[in-house]
């Protein structure tokens, strides 16, 4: 192989899939012990991107339905981290 010549990329390897996490809050919202909009705002404020909170940019999107919060991440985000933030929210609002 010649120096300076790049090997062509494999087909389909150029695009990375976005990770989609759904947090179902149906029971607490129906029982009126949890506010879905405050939970969405909490996640948007507390999720860290490159070590900084509140700077989601285009990498991570937080959306809500009536009883669900959906987090879509194009960069690295773990399920364990979302579970940690959910428990932190519940503890802060005296639900847990």
Give the model confidence (pLDDT) of 27-48 as tens digits.
999 999 999 999 999 999 999 9
Residue 48: what are its φ and ψ, rounded to 5°?
-95, 135
Higher pLDDT, 65 or 8: 65
Range of the domain at 27: 19-92
E-strand stretches of 6-89:
19-24, 48-49, 52-53, 60-64, 68-73
Q: What is the DSSP letter of 51?
A: T
- CATH code assigned at 33: 3.30.1360.210
pLDDT bracket for residue 51 (50, 70, 90):
confident
Parallel/antiparallel/unpaired status of strands 48-49 and 19-24? unpaired
Q: What is the pLDDT of residue 14?
A: 55
Mean pLDDT, residues 56-82 taken together: 92
User: How many domains does the chain fold into?
Assistant: 1
Predicted TM-score of the model (pTM): 0.79
9 within a domain of the structure (yes/no): no
13 in a structural domain:
no
Note whether residue 1 is domain-resident.
Answer: no
**Is the residue at 69 inside a domain?**
yes
Nearest to 94 by CA among 33, 27, 31: 33
Residue 5 is assigned to a structural domain of this protein: no
């Amino acid at each position: 192989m010649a120096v300076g010549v790049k090997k062509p990329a494999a087909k389909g390897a150029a695009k990375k899939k976005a990770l989609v996490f759904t947090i179902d809050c149906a029971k607490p919202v129906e029982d009126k012990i949890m506010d879905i909009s405050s939970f969405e705002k909490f996640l948007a404020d507390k999720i860290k991107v490159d070590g900084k909170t509140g700077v989601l940019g285009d990498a991570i999107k937080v959306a809500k339905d009536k009883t669900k919060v959906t987090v879509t991440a194009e960069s690295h985000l773990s399920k364990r981290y979302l579970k940690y933030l959910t428990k932190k929210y519940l503890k802060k609002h005296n639900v847990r």
